[in-house]
A and B are shown apart, each in its own frame.
Chain A
Amino acid sequence: MAGRNDTCTNRTALVTGGSRGIGLATAIALARRGDNVVITHKSELPGSTQDLINSLNGSSSVDAGGKPQLEVPKASAPGATPGTAQVVAPGTIVAVQCDVRSDDDISSLFDHVEAEFGYASIIVANAGIVADTLLLRMGQPAWDDVIDTNLTGVFRILKRGVQPMVRKRHGKVVLVSSVAAFLGSPGQVNYASAKAGLVGMGRSLARELAGRNINVNIVAPGIVNTGMISALGEAKLKQLVGSIPLGRMASPEEIAHVIAFLTSDDASYVTGAVIPVDGGMAMGL
């Protein structure tokens, strides 16, 4: 099975916005299956993330020796049969400071990746910010910042990052959109516009790159238990969770597992797809 071999090769993945939340959970999931992972972070790396990375890089077993640990089930290896767990040496996680609004940062990011690992055959464009307020109160900077980071930042990353994939005729790209792109979200005109834009970007790119054996897919998470939801407030959060058929938020790992699948060879025939991971929140849209 393709997926079996897939977990053994030492590939390199780039995960933007990887210092926490969905990005960090994704980095860990990919490293656990053997990929080397470069995460980008804009602001200073949180101490807890650095500790976590150190413990993951320092141990070849799942036990991180009492260090803070995210819950990432080991059984995520696709195609693995119970009782025949294969030993996969985990990949290394490297953190690089990079603001996706800066061409210079992106240029040195890829120089770093290519010097250290060759090239990134997997890109997870996850970096994103929020600047929530109702349209009538939304200043131009709140619009510009969110579009520049969440939409144009992805354009910048892909424009550079896809080049070696095209040359190598191999690659997996996942764009992290949002349920807000489909449902709309009051106070998030900027965010929802950027996230909806990623759908068009991803599908167009899927068509452009299909002939080069590069899969481009979009994941649309719903309400995920990360730092980003703290901006919502308790009442709003309760109301939102009430509208989720599964009746709860997602953990970041539940999004990461889907991204891990889409970036595995088990998903070789999936491209241009928008995969909702939202507990049923936006089904049918």
Chain B
Amino acid sequence: MSDDAIFEKLSQCAVDVLQVPPDKVVKEARFSDDLDADSLDLVELVMALEEAFGISVDESELDGIETVGEAYDLVKSKL
């Protein structure tokens, strides 16, 4: 899967789960501040990403993930 395709898919998950407009989902966007996501939103997003990409993410891997770009890197590292 190309980098663009990965980001596109991740972005779609974020739009669906967090109900934010697609143009707000940029790599620099912070989940809590820019996308108004609470902890349960993030859990939902992780579950959506796991399903969409067929990956498994451990709780410990989520530490320090605060931006869309960091989430993208994590997903990419698992493909």
Interface set of A (CB-CB < 8 Å, partner B): 163, 166-167, 208-209, 211-212
Contacts and interface: CB of A to CB of B under 8 A. Distances in A.
B38 A166 contact: no
Contacts of B47: 163
A167 B40 contact: no
Interface residues of B, number: 4
A209 B47 CA distance: 16
Contacts of B40: 166, 208-209, 211-212
Contacts of B38: 211
Closest 3 CB pairs of A and B: A166-B44, A208-B40, A211-B38
- Interface of A, secondary structure class, is helix
A166 B47 CA distance: 12
A216 to B, nearest CB: 13
Nearest to A210: B40
A209 B44 CA distance: 12
A166 B42 CA distance: 12
A106 to B, nearest CB: 17
9 contacts: A163-B47, A166-B40, A166-B44, A167-B44, A208-B40, A209-B40, A211-B38, A211-B40, A212-B40
Interface string B25-47: 00000000000001010001001
A208 B44 CA distance: 13
B14 to A, nearest CB: 15
Contacts of A167: 44
Contacts of A211: 38, 40
Nearest to B38: A211
